[in-house]
Amino acid sequence: MKTVSVCFVCLGNICRSPTAEAVMRRLVDEAGLTEHLEVDSAGTGDWHIGEAPDERAQRAGGQRGYDLAPLRARQIAEEDFRRFDLIVAMDEANVVALQGICPAAERDKIRLLMEFAPQAEARVVVDPYFGGDAGFETVLDQCETACAGLLAALRPQLMVE
Ligand code: 4NP
């Protein structure tokens, strides 16, 4: 089976994209696809490089059984656009920032996470950093729905040799 690689991207890599990474890892593990689907995350900004996820994201995720504690923030780099098959952004500002550093040949790899949840009303995962705890629950709800859709969308690719 082929290996597919996905990198989730937000602004700081301490709230939304590490949450998406943890949610996707669990779905991939549960599907028995750990050896075939590489999952990572990064931020477009550099403020939080090396930091663990925001405590609110760790707490909200922990309540649903996701362990975000070992994750560390990093900034997306040009080489990531070659390394990953898909670069999955949380909002339009992330997409614009990614397009600014993406080699022209790799542009099609940039997608919005909520594209993979077509039934959901929201088209973006809103930044919860400056809001209350409810925002982190919404992020988790969206990540759970959209990551399931993303895994379903990737399954045909995983079946190819
Ligand atoms: P994230 O949230 O992009 O979901 O990780 C944010 C984290 C930090 C900041 C903004 C958003 N910040 O401005 O430091």
Which CATH number is 45's domain given? Answer: 3.40.50.2300
Listed as ranges, residues in the chain with pLDDT below 50 are none
For the CA of 73, the nearest atom of ligand 1: 5
Q: What is the 3-state secondary structure (H, E, C) of 88-112?
A: EECCHHHHHHHHHHCCHHHHHHEEE
How close is the Cα of 56 to the center of ligand 1, in Å?
A: 12
CA–CA separation, 66 and 22 (whole Å): 6
How many domains are there within the chain?
1
**Angstrom distance (rounded) from CA 127 to CA 79:** 25
Closest CA to 77 of 150, 155, 13: 13
* Atom number of ligand 1 nearest to Cα 11: 3
At 161 the pLDDT is 53
The closest alpha carbon to 84, from 54, 62, 108, 48, belongs to: 108
Place of tokens 């649903």: 64
How many angstroms is it from 128 CA to the middle of ligand 1? 8
Q: pTM for this one?
A: 0.97
Q: What is the pLDDT of residue 2?
A: 74
Contact 2, 161 (CB under 8 A): yes
Residue 128's pLDDT is 98
Place of tokens 């900034």: 75
Q: In the chain, what's the furthest Cα-to-Cα distance?
A: 45
Q: Which amino acids are annotated catalytic? A: 10, 16, 127
Q: Is the CB of 21 under 6 A from ligand 1?
A: no
pLDDT of residue 160: 60
Distance of CA 29 from the midpoint of ligand 1 (Å): 27
Query: How many residues are there in the chain?
Result: 161
Q: How far is CA 54 from CA 88, 114, 136, in A?
A: 20, 22, 10
Q: Contact at 8 Å (CB) between 37 and 28?
A: yes
Name the residue range of residue 127's domain: 4-159
> What's the rounded Cα separation, in Å, for the pair 118 and 135?
20
| Residue that has been written with the tokens 């992020």 in this structure | 139
